[in-house]
Amino acid sequence: MTKRKLALAAAVLVIAAAAAILALGTSPGSAKSSGTFKAAWIYVGPHNDGGWSQAHDAGRLYVQKALGSKVQTTYKENIAVGAQLQQTVASLVSQGYKIIFGTSYGFFDKALAAKYPNVLFEQATGTDVAKNLSEYFGAAEDTVFLSGIAAGAAAQCNTIGYVVAYPIPEVIRHANAFALGAQLAHPGIKVKLVWTNSWFDPAKEKRSAQSLHGAGACVLGQNVDSPATGQYAESVNVPWVGYDSDAQKFAPKSWLTASVYNWGPYYLKRVKAAMNGTWKPGFYYGTISDGFTGLAKYGPDVSAKAKSLIAKWEAKLRANRGAEFTGPLYDQSGKLRVPKGKKLTVQQLYSMNWLVKGVIGSPKG
Amino acid sequence: MRFTVERRLNQPRWLVVAVPIGSVVVGLAVSAVVLLATGHDPLSSYRQLFDAAFLSTGSLNQTLIAATPLAFTGLATAAAFRMRIFNIGAEGQLYMGAITGAAAGLYLGGRGGPSAFVIAAMVFMGCIGGAAWAAIPGVFRAFFGASEILTSLMLNYVAAQILTYLIFESQSYWRQTKGFNATVFPTGKPLPSSAIWLGPTVHVQGGITLPLGAGFAVLAAVVLWVLYRRMRFGFEVQVLGDSLGAARYAGVRVRRKVLAVMLISGGIAGLGGVSQDGDFRHALDGDPNGLQKQAYGYTGIVVAALARYNPFAVVVIAFLIGGLANAGNTLQGADFPSGLVGVIEGIILFCALGGELLVRHRVRFVPRTRTPAVAAPEAAP
Amino acid sequence: MNNSLLVVLIASGVAYGTPLLFGALGELLAERSGVLNLGVEGMMLVGAVMGFWTVQRVHAGSAVALIAAVAVAALAGAATALVHAFLVITLRASQIVSGLAVTIFAGAAGLSSYLGNDLNLADVPASHTFHAFFPARMQNWPIVGPIVFGQTPLVYASWICVVAVVYYLARTRPGLNLRAVGEAPGAADAMGINVVAYRYVHTLIGGALAGVAGATFTLAITPQWVSGITGGAGWIAIALVIFAFWRPELCLVGAYFFGALQALAPELQARNISLGPTELWTNSIPYAATVIVLVIVSSRGGRRRLGAPAALGVPYVREE
């Protein structure tokens, strides 16, 4: 066969293949399943990171299970803020998704929501609200506070190490809550911070845990997403408080407890509202009492005394969210920041940039 | 029966076009097998890919958004690699251009619609930023003989740290300090409206906005082509790339040329950075989960190499790879593991690479003979 | 004394620098044969995931499971390297693009992630991990305790590898042939050395070592699997080879230098030592230091070659 004929045959083949794809490949835009409501989640990390994104995915699965064939859910993982997020949203919208949950700050803003007025957007940990854009987060600081009590109670020295991510208000208020809880159970104890500047970096977190332990910490805690701190804690027989998920399997003996998020009930509520047209934008701030945040199972070494102190405060917090931030509260320099009897508002919590007395480390990173 | 591979003496035009297309088809065919093996429908997946990249409403918008930075980093890489100066630092040079360009926009911008003056200033400062960052490995290579591969790569990490620092760890000029949002999470100060790059809208597919940066990229490609093919500078640099000794003998000032090439390369990458600010983000993006996760610089290397360092081919290939990246995002989901996207992209790249062989070489099947090696080579084709 | 900053940094440097060392040794061998492998990160990730899978699946004693895991990781890395080798040696494709394509194919958004998810390896601790080999008593000895005796067997294996590679390159016939293959393949070919075979073998060994490097993460350093767990170590390993002027003993020094510098930031924070914008400085220092060291050493050599194999990156074509 001459080269020319070969080339011609190849060209025909390519055209045939293209035609096959266009004709036979079902485009997802052609919604055959027009009855099902489509909901999507966008994650900043892998859906099975054992931390933040995985908790959201658990919420998504909760919705899928509760609504069965009435809803079609999907997720996009490892989406960077910016161009990739734009593309992802554009493709989800063109595929007919009617409500999209963005699980990292900066995903959705007013401009994006205005671009797609017929789609509902929900942004976690964000601030913008619009006609079709709602915000949601919750008082994790309350349960982090409780987990701090467990840490303080388990401490047999004067320092707890706390591995933290970015010096932003969300992390700062969690660190403060943790310290307040530890000080409640163990007056005068110090909480030392090491910033990793990453939400999820197992090797860095382990290095940070090692440094804290070397500097005298006898209990380790974290506000980052991987269980690396716990694995290190287990290897040196030091108690450990986790974050985001029940990670006892990574450190069976060291495990104390952790503050965990239950995104499922909120997601179900919102998807149902979207489905029957009663969805309204707002600023949801979940609490212990509506099940948004809770404590993971206790480990073997949580004393009865600690458990009862935690139970007492949990009841208090159920009735009064954020009660742990009631004055008098002093910052690291000794200045009175919250006068006696006053409680910090949500807005103040959202912009918190100072650390309480007893925390060692800089709020600037 | 064995096969020999011989270099072609000339490369027929049709082959240069047909082989890449053929390779992509083969790549898709191989990927189809992988998809079937993992329980996915190839035809639907490919339909989704093409839809998302080129066909569906608004898809070209998204593809252009992905392709524009790749065109810049591809051109930057091609400008250097063509001369055997391996500038791996397009990523960092892009960040620095974004920083300096944003500074120009913030400082000079004001109210009102997009201003040609402000945009021009941003372009200028963006190029300066990228070029300055590239000057470091350039100087080290030209005057100290230090490998630009290593120095430019290391500086990528430093540039990323600086970028994060400006937004996340300091109250710098670039950081938004007013407003409630600003206290909740570190963000960049939004560019004033006269500093926003507004591109023309074409009424295709429901309205496609051509990013201004895309236009600049095409312009840069033309400039690069003219510089390298039509001007003495290009000729001298070509000689330099081919043979250091010959260049010196011909009186080419090696050090200056090396530095110049790095500056040009860095400048183009820097322009890509300021395009990110002006075209897309409208602020400086210092979020480690944002611009820094996109790896535009490194993907640009792939683009440049596939285009064999020809500026116009870089623009075309950047468009295609941008489409592929865009489509890959669409494809992943609960029913399609994101890992498979990378597998498919890799397979297509492998096939494209394999196909390259056919462009530069001719494969012939030779019947095994017992005659001594001297007699074996065939008559000229 | 064992808690002093220097000792802690060096001990950390050794522990965290080990994957860098494995990766760099592998890359060094490949590059010495003239093949540039930019796919180290992808190969590390494949080794990490397959090593982890093995350790979860093998139901035997710790030692057996871990050795099997390392072996499988090496095989996985080598298999990935085979793709790269075939493309650049037999098909004479661009080595740069091929390496980057391998990283895309096998990397954090590719095959390694797919395998990890498909085999349900996420969010589970490793069934067996490498622990410190020597007894605690020896680990507490001054200075050498934490630095030498507080390490996992993989660290000791890496030392053996360094010695082996040094000996191989300097004293064995194949090692000396390797040098010829990388510098002047035409001459080597004329001498009867099978250039293609050398390149294949050394590229595959490079991949195998990269696989072991990846397994170091999932079996020793952070015994879990998550997509992208190596966090860019592959790129550092590539840089390390240049930094070490293609000499294995300098790879060791460089790897530990990098590892130590990465441990600098948390250590300084824990000790309340503030160097200003700590994060910026301590994260940039490893990279800036590398550049400075390279410039100083290069300039002393003047116009002489760095030591890069002359035929690095160029496909070998035998003229008929």
Return all residues near B235 (Cβ < 8 A) that are at least 6 apart: none
* Interval C111-165: pLDDT, tens: 999 999 999 999 899 999 999 888 888 888 888 888 999 899 999 999 999 999 9
Return all residues near A257 (Cβ < 8 A) that are at least 6 apart: A146, A147, A150, A241, A242, A295, A296, A297, A298, A299, A302
Share of chain B above pLDDT 90, in %: 39
CATH of the domain at C280: 1.10.3470
Whether C222 sits inside 8 A of A195 (CB atoms) is no
Our CA-based measurement puts residue A105 at a distance from the nearest CA of chain B, in whole angstroms, of 8
Cα(first)–Cα(last) distance of chain C, in Å? 66
pLDDT at C306: 53
Higher pLDDT, C133 or A184: A184
Name the residue in chain B with its Cα closest to that of C282.
Answer: B161
pLDDT at B196 > cutoff 50 = yes
pLDDT at C304 > cutoff 50 = no
pLDDT at B129: 96
Model confidence at B374, in pLDDT bands (50, 70, 90)?
Answer: low
A204 in the same domain as A346: yes
Q: Write out the two tokens for A85.
A: 């997020």
Among B19, B36, B61, B330, which would you mutate to test the A interface (most chain A Cβ atoms within 10 Å of its Cβ)? B330
Spell out which residues of chain A touch residue C276, defining contact as CB-CB under 8 Å: none
Query: Residue C141's domain spans which residues?
Result: 5-300
Whether B294 sits inside 8 A of A83 (CB atoms) is yes
pLDDT at A278: 94
Question: Residue A106 and residue A278: Cα distance in Å, rounded?
Answer: 26
Question: Residue C156 and residue C164: Cα distance in Å, rounded?
Answer: 12
Higher pLDDT, B327 or B113: B327
A118 touches chain B (CB under 8 A): no
pLDDT at C320: 47
pLDDT at A234 > cutoff 80 = yes
Of A138, A158, A184, which marks where a domain is finished? A138
Number of H helices, E strands in chain C: 15, 0
* Interval A124-177: pLDDT, tens: 988 889 999 999 999 999 999 999 999 999 999 999 999 999 888 999 999 999
pLDDT at A26: 53
A positions 208-227 inside 8 Å of B (CB): none
A150 in the same domain as A85: no
A219 in the same domain as A197: yes
Asked if B366 contacts B378 with a C-beta cutoff of 8 angstroms, the reply is yes
A145 in the same domain as A133: no
Average pLDDT, whole number, for chain B?
86
pLDDT at A94: 87
A236 in the same domain as A96: no
Residue A174: inside a domain, yes or no?
yes
What dihedral do alpha carbons B48, B49, B55, B58 form, nearest 10°? Answer: 90
A351 touches chain B (CB under 8 A): yes
Of A90, A105, A138, which marks where a domain is finished? A138
pLDDT at B7 > cutoff 80 = no
Query: Residue A350's domain spans which residues?
Result: 141-260+294-360
Whether C287 sits inside 8 A of B298 (CB atoms) is no
Name the residue in chain C with its Cα closest to that of B363.
Answer: C91
A59 in the same domain as A163: no
Q: SS3 of B127, please?
A: helix
A183 in the same domain as A74: no
pLDDT at A31: 44
* Interval A29-74: pLDDT, tens: 444 456 789 999 999 988 988 889 999 999 999 999 999 999 999 9
Return all residues near C249 (Cβ < 8 A) that are at least 6 apart: C162, C166
Question: How many domains, in total, are found in chain C?
Answer: 1
Residue A282: inside a domain, yes or no?
no
CATH of the domain at A45: 3.40.50.2300
A positions 29-48 inside 8 Å of B (CB): 29, 44
* Interval A287-317: pLDDT, tens: 999 899 999 999 999 999 999 999 999 999 9
B286 touches chain A (CB under 8 A): no
pLDDT at C36 > cutoff 70 = yes
Asked if C211 contacts C75 with a C-beta cutoff of 8 angstroms, the reply is yes
Share of chain C above pLDDT 90, in %: 58
* Interval C251-294: pLDDT, tens: 999 999 889 888 888 998 899 887 666 668 777 877 888 888 88
What dihedral do alpha carbons B147, B150, B151, B157 form, nearest 10°? Answer: 170
Asked if A88 contacts A294 with a C-beta cutoff of 8 angstroms, the reply is no
A195 touches chain C (CB under 8 A): yes
Residue C313: inside a domain, yes or no?
no
pLDDT at B2: 64
Name the residue in chain B with its Cα closest to that of C105.
Answer: B346
Q: What are phi and psi of C272, to 5 degrees?
A: 60, 30
* Location of structure tokens 């040009």: B264
Spell out which residues of chain B touch residue C109, defining contact as CB-CB under 8 Å: 338-339, 341-342
Model confidence at A4, in pLDDT bands (50, 70, 90)?
Answer: low
pLDDT at A29: 47
pLDDT at B376: 43
pLDDT at C168 > cutoff 90 = yes
Question: How many domains, in total, are found in chain A?
Answer: 2
Query: What type of residue is A128?
Result: D
Of A94, A109, A138, which marks where a domain is finished? A138
A98-122 mean pLDDT: 93
Q: Write out the two tokens for B133.
A: 């960052």
Residue A334: inside a domain, yes or no?
yes
Quick one: which of C205, C206, C233, C197 has its CA closest to C217?
Answer: C233
Average pLDDT, whole number, for chain C?
89
Spell out which residues of chain A touch residue C274, defining contact as CB-CB under 8 Å: 362
Model confidence at A3, in pLDDT bands (50, 70, 90)?
Answer: low
* Interval B263-284: pLDDT, tens: 999 999 999 999 999 998 888 9
A308 touches chain B (CB under 8 A): no
pLDDT at B92: 96
Our CA-based measurement puts residue A230 at a distance from the nearest CA of chain B, in whole angstroms, of 25
DSSP sequence for B48-115: HHHIIIIISTTHHHHHHHHHHHHHHHHHHHHHHHTTT----THHHHHHHHHHHHHHHHHHH--SSS--
Question: Residue A59 and residue A41: Cα distance in Å, rounded?
Answer: 10
pLDDT at C223: 93
B55-65 mean pLDDT: 86
pTM of the model: 0.90
Whether B43 sits inside 8 A of A20 (CB atoms) is yes
Higher pLDDT, C82 or B44: C82
Q: Could you tell me how far CA A28 lies from the centroid of its own chain?
A: 30
* Interval A241-286: pLDDT, tens: 999 889 999 999 999 999 999 999 999 999 999 999 999 999 999 9
Our CA-based measurement puts residue B111 at a distance from the nearest CA of chain C, in whole angstroms, of 34
Whether B293 sits inside 8 A of A347 (CB atoms) is no
Question: Residue A189 and residue A211: Cα distance in Å, rounded?
Answer: 18
* Partners of B171 in beta bridges: none
B209 touches chain A (CB under 8 A): no
Residue among A54, A203, A360 minimizing CB distance to C272: A360
Q: Residue length, chain A?
A: 365
Angstrom CA distances, B19 to B23, B124, B352, C96, C102, stand at: 6, 39, 8, 20, 21
Among A79, A88, A210, A246, which would you mutate to test the C interface (most chain C Cβ atoms within 10 Å of its Cβ)? A210
pLDDT at B122 > cutoff 90 = yes
Question: Residue B344 and residue B328: Cα distance in Å, rounded?
Answer: 9
Q: Write out the two tokens for C64.
A: 């057996």
Spell out which residues of chain C touch residue B339, defining contact as CB-CB under 8 Å: 109-118, 227
Whether C93 sits inside 8 A of B298 (CB atoms) is no
Residue A183: inside a domain, yes or no?
yes
Asked if A157 contacts A218 with a C-beta cutoff of 8 angstroms, the reply is yes
* Interval A187-230: pLDDT, tens: 999 999 999 988 888 999 999 999 999 999 999 999 999 999 99
Residue C305: inside a domain, yes or no?
no
Average pLDDT, whole number, for chain A?
90
A149 in the same domain as A128: no
A319 in the same domain as A170: yes
Residue among B154, B347, B350 minimizing CB distance to C291: B154
B55 touches chain C (CB under 8 A): no
Asked if B339 contacts C117 with a C-beta cutoff of 8 angstroms, the reply is yes
A172 in the same domain as A310: yes
Whether A80 sits inside 8 A of B294 (CB atoms) is yes
Among A52, A87, A200, which would you mutate to test the B interface (most chain B Cβ atoms within 10 Å of its Cβ)? A87
C43-61 mean pLDDT: 95
Return all residues near B160 (Cβ < 8 A) that are at least 6 apart: B91, B92, B95, B288, B292
Model confidence at B380, in pLDDT bands (50, 70, 90)?
Answer: very low
Higher pLDDT, A13 or B27: B27
B366 touches chain C (CB under 8 A): no
